[in-house]
Amino acid sequence: MLSFFRKIRKQLAADNKPLKYLRYAIGEILLVVIGILLALQINTWNENRKSNMREMKLLTELKTNLHINVQNLEKDIESQTQSAKVIDKLLDHLDHKRPYTDSLAYYFSMADYAPDVVLSSSAFETLKSSGLELISTDTLRSTIINLFEIYYPTLMQETKRLEDQLWPTAAVPMYQKHFRREQKDFYTVNDYQALLDDKEFTNMLSFRGNLRKQSTIRKIKAKDQTLNVLAMIHKELSND
C-alpha cells in the first residue's frame, strides 16, 4: 500500500499538483503512524496475554501449595489437640495419685509428642523471583504476601521458640529422670511413686499442655487464613 501511495505522490509531483500531493503525503504519514500504533497495540496485547497466562499458572501452583498447607495444619491441629487431652488426663491421674496402669506408658509418650510446622512455599518463592506485581489484583497480592511473609514465619518462629525453650531445658531432664524408652517409643516409669511425688514434673507437664493449646490456636488461625487466600485465588481463577 505504501508503494502505491509513493507512485501517486510521484505522479502528482510530476503533474505539478502540490495540494493533492500534500494530501496524499499526509495520508501516507497517517497510515505509517496507524501501522506503528497497531503494531504496538498488538505487541502490548500479546505481552498482557503472556503475563496473564503466567499469573494464572503461578496462582494454580500456589493453590496446590496452600492445599498441602491446610492438610499439614489440620494434621498438626488434630495431633496437638489429642496431645493436650492426654496431658490433661495424665495431670488428673497424677494429681489424684491414682494407681499405675499399663495405658500410662502410651499416654506419657503422647504427652511428649510435638509436631514440627511444615509449610510449603515453593510457588510463592517462584512468584517472588518472577515479580510480585505479576498478581494483578492488589487485594489478592497483599493478602498472599501477608500470609507467606508475616503469618507463616510468625507461626513457625513462635512454635520453635517455645518448644526450644521448654523441651531441652525442662522436658528432657524430667523424662530422663523418670522414664526409660521401650519399644514403639513408649515410656516406662522407673519409679511410679517418685513420679507421683515430683511436683516439678507435673508443673512441667501442665506448662507443656498449655503450650500445646496455644500452638493449636495459632495453627487454627493460620489454617483459616490459608483457606481465605485459597478462596480468593479460586475466585480470581474463575474470573479469568
Q: Which residues on adjacent β-strands are paired with residue 179?
A: 189
Crossing angle of helices 199-239 and 18-95, in 10° steps, is 160
The tally of domains found in the chain comes to 1
13 domain residue, yes or no = no
Q: Which domain holds residue 231?
A: 54-239
pLDDT in tens, 155-206: 888 877 776 677 777 888 898 899 887 666 678 899 999 999 999 999 999 9
Of residues 98 and 188, which shows the higher confidence score?
98
Tens-digit pLDDT profile for residues 6-31: 555 555 455 555 555 566 566 667 76
Collapse the DSSP code of 195 into the 3-class scheme (helix H, G, I; strand E, B; otherwise coil) and give the result: helix
Task: Tell me if 40 is assigned to some domain.
Answer: no
Note whether residue 73 is domain-resident: yes
pTM attached to this predicted model? 0.76
Hey, what's the cell of 208?
507443656
In a domain, 45, yes or no: no
Summarize the confidence of residues 227-231 as an average pLDDT.
Answer: 95
| The pLDDT of residue 197 | 93
The answer as to whether 21 is a domain residue is no
In a domain, 46, yes or no: no
Q: How far apart are CA 131 and CA 228, in angstroms?
A: 22
- 123: exposed, middle or buried (Cβ count in 10 Å: 0-12, 13-18, 19+): buried
In a domain, 64, yes or no: yes
Evaluate whether residue 228 is within a structural domain: yes
- C-alpha–C-alpha distance, residues 21 and 9, integer Å: 6
**DSSP letter (8 states) at residue 186:** P
E-strand spans in the chain?
179-181, 187-189
pLDDT at res. 7: 59
Q: Greater confidence, 114 or 7?
A: 114
**139 Cβ neighbours under 8 A, 6+ residues apart:** 232
Please give the angle made by the CA atoms of 118, 77 and 127, to the nearest 5 degrees. 35
Say how far apart CA 73 and CA 155 lie, in whole Å.
11
Instruction: Dump pLDDT digits (tens) for 29-43.
Output: 776 777 677 767 776
The closest of 2, 64, 52, 49 to 27, measured between CA atoms, is: 2
Eight-class DSSP state of 68: H
